[in-house]
Amino acid sequence: MKNKVRILKQILRKTRRLAHVIAGRDVLFPVQVRVSKERFGSEYGGWCVASDYLRNDAIVYSFGIGTDISFDLEIIAKYGVSVFAFDPTPKSIEWVKAQAPPHQFRLQEYGLADHDGTVAFYPPNNPAHISHTILNRSATADQAIEVNVFRLKTILERLGHQRLDVLKMDIEGAEYSVIDDILASSMPVGQICVEFHHGMDGISAAMTKAAIQALNLHGFLIFDVSATGAEYSFIHSSLIAPNE
């Protein structure tokens, strides 16, 4: 009985997504390359990475951690990689510091953008939630805070990294301009895991479609798509063996 209910829910979810795609409110991209992949983290905070392309000296950047670092902790536990986590949200910083994560987890108290400087950081409409955004939220404009942000290229230079093996971004709508900046700068990134936020005020499905197409044009191929269709995992074609 439970399996039937689960299957019916999956069918309903897919039907709703297809209706939204037809209406222009969602996007539907298939997996473009088959690679060995593994999911790390909780149902809420988990991501798929191409596991065959991770070594113990891999560098992982995790932007937007909120109060869920399950992805970061699990990938550290299995591969011993270095995870640099980024979030300028005061509640998130306070929460992380209370967790006593392993030494491979290194918190950076600033955010990611397409420029270096400071931005207004708007809290969510629901005070019980934690995710802030650099996109203007008029309802919480009077509660906005100022935070430091940097380009990915600048962050690599600040931290002394020549390459980036995995870039994970859950940055509440800022991903579109950041992706443009990354692609224009031709930075050495192996995998990109990103949540797209079409559906937020001012963000259309067309923007997500354009971002994915731009990633494809620069050699990033989709190897995983979440059930919601919001989280995508890409790998650069230069990493893939000819027979894959």
Please say whether the beta carbons of 97 and 107 come within 8 A. yes
Please say whether the beta carbons of 152 and 184 come within 8 A. no
User: C-alpha angle with apex 213: 115 to 86, nearest 5 degrees?
Assistant: 35
Alpha-helix runs per DSSP H in the chain: 2-22, 70-79, 90-97, 152-159, 175-185, 205-217
Per-residue pLDDT of 58-72, as tens digits, reads 999 999 999 999 999
Q: What was the pLDDT predicted at 137? A: 81
Please say whether the beta carbons of 28 and 219 come within 8 A. no
94-103 long-range contacts, CB within 8 A, separation 24+: 95/67, 96/65, 96/69, 99/69, 101/69, 101/72, 101/73, 102/73, 102/76
Whole-model pTM: value is: 0.90
Q: Which residues pair with 146 in a beta bridge?
A: 120
Q: What was the pLDDT predicted at 12? A: 57
Angle, helix 175-185 to helix 152-159, in steps of 10 degrees: 70
Tokens representing residue 65 in the block = 């951690």
Give the residue carrying structure tokens 């798929």: 48
Angle, helix 175-185 to helix 205-217, in steps of 10 degrees: 20
Per-residue pLDDT of 15-59, as tens digits, reads 555 545 555 566 878 999 999 999 999 988 899 999 999 988 999
DSSP structural state of residue 237: G
| Residue ranges, the chain, pLDDT below 70 | 1-26, 241-244
Nearest partner of 155 among 24, 61, 18, judged by Cα: 61
